[in-house]
């Protein structure tokens, strides 16, 4: 199985549809909306928060919990500014920027095609390109002119500066990894595609330290593993591919990077970067801090500077990808349309909806009893507003895999109806045993993923 040449296959949702659904259903709100919003800044609503937790949990499970060779840390967002001098971000983390002399839009020079301003259409009317550093600055301390510092533009440096601390406290031998999930900040110039590129975002990054001789093998391994992870979330393989960076595209620290790319409606775009950072970062921090950041190999009695392979992905971008990939509009018998998000059960914000047939007083205690049984086991939502048909549509639209309906027969026979989102089939089952039945059904809705040997990169 190879994804390098995956055929382009259009997603059914465009950004406008997605932005509107996300707001209407409480996934993503424009930030500071009552004040007219704040460019490229978003707040996550109840369903968005649930989904982001699922994404983080899935990543942590795959990268830390299920492995013995990776440990986690949480480093500070604002660190000693020397960290960013050593990492190279102060000197080289910038984009070339121009101003349109007609409409005064500030644009990335490398995003301008055929000399035409994408905002106003004027041709060849730009200022000279200037380099614009993407790091957000702040001041630390109680006075306005306190010490200047930066909000981190990547979580990665937290792992490099803690390499020695982690290695010594865990006694890990090479190869081993350090993982972290947390917010990063960049003064991005072009921020157009909803939560695809924002100025505040959350990264899930892992630095895998290995012997230099093994680093290419590990790079290949991580490309395969990360592709498998995206499949495990349910992203359709035909919407994913791996693409190697050209030498001109490589970041200042990279010896080679492959991106996991997604075929979005606006073209292929980066979802995750898998970089071979060599020994760049450890050497830089050793030089700037004066500490020796080498590893003593007890097998060979030699000191080595480990090489690093880094899979790095954004929570926000994974969420957008999952929503766009899962979106479907189906025409039902009779001509009705239903909007469905075909989320995999582990990422769906709600796994099981509990729906009493009506708000009738006789039904409510039974429905609440069923809900009480389910809440400790699943992410649930109780919905009793409007007709049952409308409620099924609402649950389809937020991607809930299973609905449990409580009707008047439930009061007598203690059985409920399970309704499947994808097939819309309904089956009656006893409340006793309902948890196991739902678990089995959710398990059967999980994506099948290829073994690592079946993936070619
Ligand atoms: N430490 C390496 C690094 O930060 P990157 O390719 O710049 O590499 C890694 O970022 C991932 O973080 C990207 O693939 C993307 O998923 C996410 N990301 C980067 N910039 C982002 C932004 N402005 N908004 C949302 N996500 C972003």
| Cβ neighbours of 270 (radius 10 Å) | 17
What's the average model confidence in pLDDT over 245-255?
A: 85
Does residue 150 lie within any of the structural domains?
no
User: In this model, does residue 138 exceed pLDDT 60?
Assistant: yes
Residues 192-215 have pLDDT tens digits of 799 999 999 999 999 999 999 999
| 398 within domain boundaries | yes
pLDDT tens across 340-363, in order? Answer: 999 999 999 999 999 999 999 999
| 284 three-state secondary structure | helix
- Mean pLDDT score of the chain, rounded to an integer? 94
CB 22 within 8 A of CB 28: yes
The domain of 180 spans 15-77+156-323
270 in contact with ligand 1, CB cutoff 6 A: yes
If asked whether residues 285 and 355 sit together in one domain, one would say no
Task: Please tell me whether residues 231 and 176 are part of one structural domain.
Answer: yes
Is 331 strand, coil or helix?
Answer: strand
Q: Are 263 and 257 in contact (CB under 8 A)?
A: no
137-151, 152-166, 217-231, 309-323: least confidently modelled range: 137-151
Last-in-domain residue among 307, 323, 339: 323
Domain assignment present for residue 107? The answer is: no
Q: Residue 113 domain-assigned?
A: no
Say whether both 312 and 378 belong to one domain: no
Q: Give, for ligand 1, the residue of 108, 111, 154, 159 to mutate: max count of ligand atoms closer than 8 Å to Cβ.
A: 154
pLDDT > 90? residue 314: yes
Query: Residue 273: its pLDDT value, please?
Result: 97
Q: How far is the CA of 259 from the centre of ligand 1 (A)?
A: 11
One domain, residues 298 and 204 = yes
- Kindly state if the Cβ of 156 falls inside 6 Å of ligand 1: yes
Q: What is the dihedral of CA 443, 449, 452, 457, to 10 degrees?
A: -160
Say if residue 295 is in the same domain as residue 387.
no
CA separation, residue 434 to residues 375, 417, 440 (Å): 12, 10, 10
Q: Quick check: is 87 in a domain?
A: no
Q: Is the domain of 166 the same as that of 55?
A: yes
Between 188 and 282, residue with greater pLDDT: 282
- Both 257 and 316 in a single domain? yes
How far is C-alpha 351 from the geometric centre of its chain's CA atoms? 19
Same domain as 259, residue 202: yes
Decide if 343 contacts 246 (C-beta within 8 A). Answer: no
Do 174 and 260 lie in a common domain? Answer: yes
Is 199 part of a structural domain of the chain?
yes
In this structure, are 314 and 397 located in the same domain? no
- 14, 172, 219 from 176: Cα distances, Å: 40, 7, 13
CATH number assigned to the domain comprising residue 49: 3.30.930.10
Over 90: is that where the pLDDT of 95 sits?
A: no
Are residues 370 and 250 part of one domain? Answer: no
26 Cβ neighbours under 8 A, 6+ residues apart: 45, 46, 47, 48
Instruction: Specify the pairing of strand 426-430 against strand 415-420.
Output: antiparallel
Are 283 and 360 contained in the same domain? no
Count CB neighbours of 355 within 10 A. 26
Other CB atoms within a 10 A radius of the CB of residue 400 amount to: 27
Sign of CA dihedral 358, 361, 366, 371: positive
Task: Note whether residue 171 is domain-resident.
Answer: yes
**Nearest-angstrom CA–CA distance, 440 and 433:** 11
Cα gap 203→316, rounded to integer Å: 8
pTM of the model: 0.93
Distance, in Å, from the CA atom of 25 to the CA atom of 43, rounded to the nearest integer, reads: 13
The mean pLDDT value for 414-440 works out to 98
Residue 369 counted as domain residue: yes
Domain count, the chain: 2
pLDDT at 9 over 60: no
Q: Residue 439 is part of a domain; what is its CATH number?
A: 3.40.50.800
Distance 123 CA to ligand 1 centre (A): 31
Q: Which of 288, 323, 358 is the last residue of a domain?
A: 323
């Amino acid at each position: 199985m190879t994804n390098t040449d995956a055929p382009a296959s259009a997603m059914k949702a465009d950004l406008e549809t997605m932005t509107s659904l996300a707001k209407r259903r409480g996934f993503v709100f424009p930030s500071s909306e009552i004040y007219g919003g704040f460019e490229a800044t978003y707040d996550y609503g109840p369903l968005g928060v649930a989904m982001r937790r699922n994404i983080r949990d899935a990543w942590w499970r795959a990268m830390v919990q299920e492995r013995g060779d990776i440990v986690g840390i949480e480093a500070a967002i604002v660190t000693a500014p020397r960290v960013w001098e050593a990492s190279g971000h102060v000197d080289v983390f910038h984009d070339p920027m121009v101003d349109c002399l007609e409409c005064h839009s500030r644009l990335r020079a490398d995003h301008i095609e055929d000399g035409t301003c994408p905002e106003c259409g004027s041709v060849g009317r730009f200022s000279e390109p200037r380099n614009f550093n993407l790091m957000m600055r702040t001041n630390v301390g109680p006075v306005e002119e306190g010490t200047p510092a930066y909000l981190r533009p990547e979580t990665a440096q937290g792992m490099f500066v803690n390499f020695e601390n982690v290695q010594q406290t865990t006694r890990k031998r090479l190869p081993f990894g350090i993982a972290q999930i947390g917010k990063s900040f960049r003064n991005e110039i072009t921020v157009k595609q909803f939560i695809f590129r924002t100025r505040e975002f959350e990264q899930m990054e892992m630095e895998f330290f290995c012997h230099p001789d093994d680093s290419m093998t590990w790079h290949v391994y991580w490309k395969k593993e990360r592709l498998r992870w995206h499949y495990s979330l349910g992203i359709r393989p035909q919407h994913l591919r791996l693409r190697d960076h050209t030498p001109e595209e490589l970041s200042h620290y990279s010896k080679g990077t492959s991106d996991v790319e997604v075929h979005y409606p606006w073209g292929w775009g980066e979802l995750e970067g898998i970089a071979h950072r060599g020994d760049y970062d450890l050497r830089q921090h050793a030089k700037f801090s004066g500490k020796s950041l080498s590893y003593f190999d007890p097998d060979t009695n030699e000191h080595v500077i480990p090489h690093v392979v880094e899979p790095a992905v954004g929570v926000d971008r994974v969420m957008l990808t999952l929503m766009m990939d899962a979106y479907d509009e189906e025409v039902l018998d009779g001509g009705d349309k239903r909007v469905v998000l075909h989320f995999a059960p582990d990422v769906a914000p709600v796994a099981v909806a509990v729906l009493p047939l009506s708000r009738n007083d006789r039904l409510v205690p039974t429905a609440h009893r069923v809900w009480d049984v389910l809440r400790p086991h699943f992410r649930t939502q109780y919905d009793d507003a409007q007709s049952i048909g409308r409620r099924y549509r609402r649950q389809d639209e937020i991607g809930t895999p299973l609905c449990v309906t409580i009707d008047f027969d439930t009061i007598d026979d203690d059985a409920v109806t399970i309704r499947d989102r994808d097939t819309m089939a309904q089956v009656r089952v006893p409340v006793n045993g309902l948890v196991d039945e739902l678990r089995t059904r959710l398990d059967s809705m999980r994506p099948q993923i290829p073994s690592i040997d079946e993936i070619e990169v």
